[in-house]
Structure 1
């Protein structure tokens, strides 16, 4: 799914009006009606007090359309206008006049904190104050209104984006933002719904189709894409009946040190479970027996040193190599890594101490093959690139880093983001159960195994992050968040693959309608 920028959404609105020969007011009517339909389908006329708070721009106009439809359908509605400026949008004024024509209970003008209405916990708040057009901090009394919303503990529904939240930059004051239980977003969700610092402002979101021009939606290229089943399924490579292991590549996992052989075991298992034809592990001598015993499917090559990697030499031609898992940053290991990079020709996936070694000697970045995949956790990313002010600054720096070094960087988190050049791919799978030792090693193995099978590195990174999260989502149903461990993610990879081809279950009503149509 494409995530449109603020400017692209404005352009889409304009093109839709032109190509469909409608006015902006008619497009606003569509938007407000879709919000009403969503609410009406769930409330079915229930007389819970609904407080619709409207700004004086187009988001407020959407709120006025909604309030008018709620009133005409007999709902218990209170409409308020946040009088934060003398400027009103044209479409707001049109819908302000329309609502006055359907009720004697005109919208109440709010000018200051003394005007705030009482809101009970069982009420519903609709936030239609600012939308995506906000470009400055909110006034102090409006901030107090948002705090009033939170203090009421009423369910809050935001239209398009929680008010006070900018779609394209960080916020400075979390109290100056509406905390929504649900957001109904137009055209696409907003990037801020998926960033660590701003995702908390909406618990859930849903996209409403307001009939924007289809050519615009299909042809417009976006900087950000949201990755779900549909997006990865189109890149899935099926297997032929007469295929054999030699067609799915030979993965080499290089890493481990005394006490950290488990990391290599996890990565190796994950690589084979994701579909690599062959997996070899290059480890210090101390890892030979543990690996052979714990994972007999892997072949094991050892360094001459007992406890650490000192000389990366092997007599095979791997399809792809992963380096860094549990390797440590000893001087001898650092020297071995540098010597390896100077002669290596295979695609690379670099994780953990491999990234730490790159951070210690950044000149090594010049030795990385194009489209090398880096999978740092937050502290490793910081060591590599330096600190950042906020999530948007982080994304800017990672994009610049990716572009400069021609590498793929995965920003791991609740919604892991794969970055390549100027593009961001936001993952939708995974859960907090992945906050456990070894889950990063498993991710590295999965991605490496996908590259081994012939997926190009960018697709492998995106697909690997998806499968890693989906496997955890399935596994957590059996183990819970606290008891999920990295090995479970490997064990459920098969189910994550199978899930790609499952059809979503239909609600009973839709299922019955489908049966009647079939007859």
Structure 2
């Protein structure tokens, strides 16, 4: 799914209107999509308090109020009575609303904090076009709404949030439980500093002009199931183990064998035809007993001292590797000679960062840093927007793929494209989850998935397995090893 800027979305609205639907009818369609979703998901709600601005977001709010009233809900509408300059379509819907005697229209100032669990607040004050920090009555009412401990639904985007960038310092933003947005994700939904205001995102299709969407260029995308189903390759019946590649997982050290074991198991579960593990001798018994399908290749007694190069294999290197001097030398020698597909993670990244050896990362490599590892590699940034921009620059400069792990993991390609992953959950924020991802990616690349597609598919598959784990075990109790057990369920889901 493409992510468009606020300016592009406005142009898309105009293109849709140019194809024959009037602006007021487009507003009606958007409002109906919201009202229908609210009706389906809040059937037991007694009352909706709808806060409307003077622009088209407020017009949506007026129309939603009318539609919810027609569905037999109790509705109150709040506006800033000091503002008279309503947009043309907002005026039309406000006029319709005033003709309904059962809906009371009040001023923002008359709202008082309440704790009624059967009441829901709907925010339709400012939409995606906001380009300044809130002030005056708008800021006051948002502060008051944020103090109210009842559920809140934002229409299009929480008031106070920008669509494409970080909000201003000390800005006031509505803290929503749900955001009902139209047709597209906004970039601000997908970053930790801003996404925390959005709650659960629901993207409502309002049939904006598909030709415009197809023709509009963007560097930002959300990984959705349409993309994944285009990438996924079901296994051919007439095939053999050689068909599905050769994965070599490199890592483990004294007292850190679990990491490379999880990578090995996840590579196997993801479908690797032949799987090898290069680890120190101290890992032999654990790996042979816990992953008998993989072949063990020892290197050193307690720490890896040599990394052999195997022809036509894909390497995943780093989980539990440690940073012993002999291991560092082995990594440097390997990278100087190895020029094929590789996934670099964890301690391997830290070794490169600490020794200023980033230039050893081969072209088309995949690196999978979390934010702190990324900072060690490429330098400090002020926020996640700046961090992603730096990642785009580095991916292009080094001609590598960067999978930047975060609440919404982002895949950054050498041609500066960013793909945000929306599967996964906070239950995956535990040591070992990244080791599972390394195994998944190594396995997919070894199975001849094009590297960029393997990154997109791997990030999604990893997160989807996490979502299945959270459903069964809870976010608190789920373990990284549970992710491995759910990989098969993800493949069954895709093949159904």
Give the TM-score, by structure 1 length: 0.88
User: What does 1:362-377 correspond to in 2, within 5 Å?
Assistant: 362=356, 364-377=357-370
Matched, 1:423 2:417: yes
Matched, 1:166 2:152: no
Match of 1:465 among 450, 459, 464: 459
Q: Does the C-alpha gap of structure 1 residues 319 and 313 become closer, same or farther in structure 2, counting only changes over 3 Å?
A: closer
Match of 1:80 among 78, 81, 90: 78
- The equivalent of 1:137 in structure 2 is 133
* Contact 2:403–2:412 (8 Å) recurs in 1: yes
Shift of 1:93: 2.9
Matched, 1:35 2:34: yes
Q: Does the C-alpha gap of structure 1 residues 371 and 176 become closer, same or farther in structure 2, counting only changes over 3 Å?
A: same
Q: Does the C-alpha gap of structure 1 residues 105 and 463 become closer, same or farther in structure 2, counting only changes over 3 Å?
A: closer
* Contact 1:252–1:281 (8 Å) recurs in 2: yes
Distance in 2 between residues matched to 1:86 and 1:386, nearest whole Å: 49
Q: Secondary structure at the match of 2:58?
A: helix
- The equivalent of 1:381 in structure 2 is 374
Match of 2:307 among 306, 312, 331: 312
Q: Does the C-alpha gap of structure 1 residues 212 and 281 become closer, same or farther in structure 2, counting only changes over 3 Å?
A: same
- The equivalent of 1:116 in structure 2 is 111
Which structure 2 segments of 5+ residues have no match? none
- The equivalent of 1:67 in structure 2 is 65
Q: Which moved more, 1:134-143 or 1:440-449?
A: 134-143
Q: Secondary structure at the match of 1:371?
A: coil
* Contact 1:252–1:318 (8 Å) recurs in 2: no
Q: Which moved more, 1:377-386 or 1:474-483?
A: 474-483
Distance in 1 between residues matched to 2:24 and 2:249, nearest whole Å: 59
Shift of 1:200: 2.2
Match of 1:55 among 53, 56, 61: 53
Distance in 1 between residues matched to 2:385 and 2:120, nearest whole Å: 32
- The equivalent of 1:293 in structure 2 is 289
Distance in 2 between residues matched to 1:307 and 1:428, nearest whole Å: 39
- The equivalent of 1:250 in structure 2 is 246
Shift of 1:73: 5.6
User: What does 1:225-240 correspond to in 2, within 5 Å?
Assistant: 225-240=221-236
Shift of 1:231: 2.2
Distance in 2 between residues matched to 1:329 and 1:261, nearest whole Å: 14
User: What does 1:10-25 correspond to in 2, within 5 Å?
Assistant: 10-20=10-20, 22-25=21-24
Distance in 2 between residues matched to 1:287 and 1:104, nearest whole Å: 73
What root-mean-square deviation, in Å, do the aligned CA atoms of Structure 1 and Structure 2 show?
A: 2.4
Distance in 2 between residues matched to 1:72 and 1:496, nearest whole Å: 42
User: What does 1:315-330 correspond to in 2, within 5 Å?
Assistant: 316-330=310-324
**How many aligned positions are there?**
494
Shift of 1:87: 4.7
Deviations 1:492-515 (A, max 9, x none): 22112111123xxxxxxxxxxxxx
Distance in 1 between residues matched to 2:319 and 2:70, nearest whole Å: 63
Give the TM-score, by structure 2 length: 0.92
Q: Secondary structure at the match of 1:418?
A: strand
Shift of 1:400: 1.5
Shift of 1:174: 6.8
Shift of 1:320: 0.8
Deviations 1:117-151 (A, max 9, x none): 56452322111101111111100542231121132
Distance in 1 between residues matched to 2:466 and 2:268, nearest whole Å: 17
Q: Secondary structure at the match of 2:192?
A: coil
Match of 2:406 among 398, 407, 413: 413
Distance in 1 between residues matched to 2:473 and 2:379, nearest whole Å: 37
Shift of 1:358: 2.1
